[in-house]
């Protein structure tokens, strides 16, 4: 088993001669010793590889007429923004906090898409003042507020509309109407989206450059993306015919699925663009419209497989005929996804990684909450206090969704690259915990 990378869900993980789990070639047990636990580790080389594969798919299948914008809600910090900037990738931000992080590292604002279903005036102002490339307008009230704010600043803001294309990617046999019940965006089938476009073209301080849709997350099927692109191109054609307005850009959002456990079967990342490009080109030719500039917004697929979380085992409770709890020094505060969605993960005892997983356990966190679990029925090497447990593919929606519940300090985030490690986000201290208390 030693060195057999196929045994792990992410390809950057292996086992060294000591029998320890490695990430990007570095010994995770040594990293735990050096930086402490709980600890997030992100493999920068793998993050970059994912960025390139999305970028190359646009080059290869769509003549490079597009932009990959990393959905920073998956995992955002200054170092992550710097890596994206270096890769020539744009950013999808969804709050002034994410935008501020991007601004703090000098991120090119023309490559930013600003999302959110309820942006505040302060957020809109920050976006307008900094000439954010595209503000994705969610509703008619926001459109009016943004027009006023841009007018005061003497600017014409580039906007897109968030559209509900009516594609439900989460049913096996995807249906076209399910998504009307969503808090995000304008509905197509009620005519709401068309009315909004009409209004936008009449306003002086917004410039409607594009349309956006996002059909869901952790999707393994390509067909819903193709269907969404078809619906959007039809709408672009309708707008041209009925209003004479040219929509130049089409943002198809993110949602590409990744492998959390052996049950997941992700599609190679370049396949999405391959299939979508064919449909978009075909329809544009048929309808005699110019090929739109295409944006995609992968979040999870760039960050998740690159990350792991390391914990130290504190105690093990065998409850006869019921289950075995293995308690670790983190939990729902650093990974709320099992508590929220019952999301499944693979775990490994990092210091026994070459041994067989011959127990089945519940990994429990240290929060004062029975539902504070990392997972149930998880195959694992026999764990004893002091062991290091690695939970795999935690690079997305873990740190970014972490909290200080029970006044626990957020873990550090360490980046590994070319066999070296460095701190990207410091571990919080007790002083941080009381910093804002009066």
* CB-CB neighbours of 343 under 10 Å: 18
- Candidates 146-154, 187-195, 226-234, 298-306; binding stretch for ligand LLP (CB under 6 A): 298-306
Among 116, 185, 292, 299, the residue binding ligand LLP under the rule CB under 6 A is 299
Annotated catalytic sites, by residue? 368
Say if CB 7 and CB 357 are below 8 A apart: no
If we measure between CA atoms, which residue out of 338, 341, 269 comes closest to residue 302? Answer: 269
| Residue nearer to ligand LLP on the CB measure, 259 or 337 | 337
CB-based burial label for 53 (10 Å; 0-12, 13-18, 19+):
middle
Among 10, 217, 324, 362, the residue binding ligand LLP under the rule CB under 6 A is 217
In three-state secondary structure terms, 199 is: helix
The contact pattern for ligand LLP, residues 21-60, with x = CB under 6 A and - = no contact, is ----------------------------------------
| Residue nearer to ligand LLP on the CB measure, 254 or 365 | 254
Classify 406 in phi/psi space as left (phi over 0), alpha (psi -120 to 50) or beta. Answer: left
The contact pattern for ligand LLP, residues 182-211, with x = CB under 6 A and - = no contact, is ------------------------------
Say if CB 317 and CB 325 are below 8 A apart: yes
Q: Is 66 in the site for ligand LLP (CB under 6 A)?
A: no
In three-state secondary structure terms, 206 is: strand
Q: Which of positions 238-257 make contact with ligand LLP (CB under 6 A)?
A: 253-256
- End-to-end, the C-alpha distance of the chain in Å comes to 55
| Residue nearer to ligand LLP on the CB measure, 35 or 345 | 345
Say if CB 349 and CB 355 are below 8 A apart: yes
| Residue nearer to ligand LLP on the CB measure, 15 or 211 | 211
Q: Number of residues in contact with ligand LLP, rule: CB under 6 A?
A: 17
Q: CA-to-CA distance for 188 and 211, rounded, in angstroms? A: 12
Among 133, 292, 298, 307, the residue binding ligand LLP under the rule CB under 6 A is 298
Minimal distance, residue 11 CB to ligand LLP, in Å: 19
- Candidates 126-134, 167-175, 233-241, 299-307; binding stretch for ligand LLP (CB under 6 A): 299-307
Minimal distance, residue 236 CB to ligand LLP, in Å: 18
Say if CB 43 and CB 22 are below 8 A apart: no
User: What are residue 276's DSSP bridge partners?
Assistant: none
Q: CA-to-CA distance for 97 and 94, rounded, in angstroms? A: 8
Minimal distance, residue 340 CB to ligand LLP, in Å: 7
Q: Is 297 in the site for ligand LLP (CB under 6 A)?
A: yes
354 CB contacts (<8 Å, ≥6 apart)? 1, 2, 15, 19
Q: Is 165 in the site for ligand LLP (CB under 6 A)?
A: no
Which residues would be at the binding site for ligand LLP (CB under 6 A)? 71, 74, 92, 115, 214, 217, 253-256, 297-301, 337, 397
């Amino acid at each position: 088993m030693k060195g057999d990378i196929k045994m792990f869900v992410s390809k950057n993980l292996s086992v060294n001669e000591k029998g320890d789990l490695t990430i990007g070639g570095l010994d995770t047990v040594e990293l735990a010793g050096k930086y402490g636990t709980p600890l997030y580790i992100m493999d920068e080389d793998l993050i970059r590889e994912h960025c390139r594969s999305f970028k190359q798919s646009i080059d290869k299948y769509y003549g490079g007429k597009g932009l990959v914008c990393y959905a920073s809600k998956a995992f955002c910090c200054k170092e992550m923004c710097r890596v994206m900037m270096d890769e020539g990738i744009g950013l999808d931000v969804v709050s002034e906090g994410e935008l501020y992080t991007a601004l703090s590292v000098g991120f090119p604002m023309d490559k930013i898409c600003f999302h959110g279903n309820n942006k505040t005036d302060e957020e809109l102002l920050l976006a307008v003042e900094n000439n954010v490339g595209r503000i994705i307008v969610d509703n008619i009230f926001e459109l009016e507020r943004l027009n006023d704010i841009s007018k005061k600043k003497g600017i014409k803001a580039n906007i897109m509309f968030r559209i509900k294309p009516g594609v439900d990617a989460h049913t096996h046999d995807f249906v076209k109407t399910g998504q009307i019940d969503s808090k995000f965006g304008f509905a197509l089938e009620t005519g709401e989206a068309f009315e909004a476009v009409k209004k936008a073209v009449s306003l002086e301080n917004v410039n409607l450059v594009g349309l956006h849709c996002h059909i869901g997350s952790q999707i393994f099927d390509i067909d819903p993306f193709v269907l969404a692109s078809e619906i959007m191109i039809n709408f672009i054609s309708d707008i041209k015919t009925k209003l004479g307005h040219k929509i130049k850009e089409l943002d198809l959002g993110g949602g590409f699925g990744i492998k959390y456990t052996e049950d997941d079967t992700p599609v190679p990342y370049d396949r999405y663009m391959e299939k979508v490009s064919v449909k978009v080109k075909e329809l544009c030719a048929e309808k005699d419209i110019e090929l739109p500039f295409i944006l995609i917004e992968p979040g999870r697929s760039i960050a998740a497989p690159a990350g792991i979380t390391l914990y130290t085992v504190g105690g093990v409770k065998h409850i006869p005929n019921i289950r075995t709890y293995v308690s670790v020094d983190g939990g729902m505060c650093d990974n709320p996804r099992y508590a929220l969605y019952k999301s499944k993960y693979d775990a490994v005892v990092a210091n026994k990684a070459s041994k067989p997983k011959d127990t089945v356990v519940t990994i429990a966190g240290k929060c004062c909450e029975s539902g504070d679990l990392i997972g149930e029925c998880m195959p694992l090497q026999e764990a004893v206090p002091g062991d290091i447990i690695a939970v795999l593919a935690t690079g997305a929606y873990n740190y970014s969704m972490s909290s200080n519940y029970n006044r626990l300090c957020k873990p550090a985030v360490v980046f590994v690259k070319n066999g070296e490690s460095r701190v990207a986000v410091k571990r919080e201290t007790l002083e941080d915990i009381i910093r804002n208390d009066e």
